[in-house]
């Protein structure tokens, strides 16, 4: 692992600091097969860089809706905009915990979870958009702190998650790919609903909220 020394104002070294190790791009067999297309839309070869870059785009995208548009849905029984954002935070918490378990050498098979149950058990639509964004950003910051502390061996440790083989870097890329897919859904299905609302100003506030990733990513 790369290390550097901090230098004090007096010019003396004050101790080593570990530099983050790039994760590398995962291969098939390091994540769920159903996530392959989503992961293929994530740019670059480092999970931390992708997640850090993505956080700003996600924040801009959901801020554009605000509380006025946070309760919008594109159909009966579909999640609201706020519920989508709350789901992203919950999903990342779970996948980051899975990555932690694998990175630390935990050999137990990790269970799956019911995303519909988790959303219905929350009250995301009742919360201010600002609170949901703060929660999402706090989760992302915690994920990045975890991932930046992994060494090359930890990134590649294998385990079983919900019946499939995985590595921490595969799970980290899964977080990014899953989020890109929701970006696409928000743009394709929620934005047209917002455009019909009275609060819509006529000029898209979403133009600057480019989520990145490959064309058609989501």
Flag whether 132 is in a domain: yes
* pLDDT value of position 199: 78
| Rounded Cα–Cα distance for residues 73 and 113 (Å) | 23
Flag whether 96 is in a domain: yes
* pLDDT value of position 21: 78
* pLDDT value of position 206: 56
Residue 62 is part of which domain span? 31-194
Q: How far is CA 88 from CA 28, 158, 218, in A?
A: 23, 24, 13
Q: Where are the beta strands (DSSP E) in 116-211?
A: 159-161, 164-166
Residue count of the chain? 218
* pLDDT value of position 2: 44
Flag whether 144 is in a domain: yes
SS3 labels along 69-130:
HCCCCCCCCCCCHHHHHHHHHHHHHHHHHHHHHHHCCCCCCECCCCHHHHHHCCCHHHCCHH
Question: Averaged in consecutive runs of 10 residues, what is the pLDDT profile of the chain (218 residues)?
Answer: 42 49 93 97 96 95 93 95 98 98 97 96 96 98 97 97 98 98 96 86 54 40
* pLDDT value of position 13: 43
Flag whether 8 is in a domain: no
| Rounded Cα–Cα distance for residues 37 and 186 (Å) | 18
Q: How far is CA 160 from CA 32, 40, 100, 196, in A?
A: 10, 21, 13, 45
Flag whether 157 is in a domain: yes
Looking up residue 148, the CATH number of its domain turns out to be 1.20.120.450
The total of structural domains in the chain comes to 1
Flag whether 210 is in a domain: no
Nearest alpha carbon to residue 73 among 202, 184, 191, 198: 191
* pLDDT value of position 8: 42
Flag whether 41 is in a domain: yes
Q: Report residue 62: phi and psi, to 5°.
A: -80, -30
Flag whether 208 is in a domain: no
């Amino acid at each position: 692992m790369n290390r550097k020394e901090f230098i004090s104002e007096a010019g003396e070294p004050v101790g080593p600091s570990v530099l983050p190790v790039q994760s590398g791009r995962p291969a098939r067999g390091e994540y769920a097969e159903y996530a392959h297309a989503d992961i293929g839309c994530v740019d670059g070869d480092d999970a931390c860089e992708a997640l850090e870059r993505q956080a700003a785009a996600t924040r801009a995208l959901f801020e554009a809706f605000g509380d006025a548009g946070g309760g919008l849905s594109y159909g009966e029984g579909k999640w609201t905009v706020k519920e989508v954002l709350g789901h992203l935070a919950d999903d990342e918490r779970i996948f980051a915990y899975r990555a932690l378990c694998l990175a630390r050498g935990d050999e137990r098979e990790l269970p799956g979870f019911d995303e519909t149950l988790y959303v219905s058990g929350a009250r995301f639509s009742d919360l201010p958009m600002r609170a949901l964004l703060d929660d999402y950003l706090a989760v992302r910051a915690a994920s990045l702190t975890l991932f930046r502390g992994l060494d090359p061996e930890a990134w590649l440790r294998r385990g079983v998650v919900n019946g499939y083989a995985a590595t921490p870097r595969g799970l980290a890329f899964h977080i990014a790919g899953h989020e890109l897919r929701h970006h696409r859904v928000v743009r394709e299905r929620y934005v047209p609903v917002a455009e019909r609302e009275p609060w819509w100003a006529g000029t898209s506030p979403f133009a600057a909220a480019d989520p990145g990733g490959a064309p058609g990513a989501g």
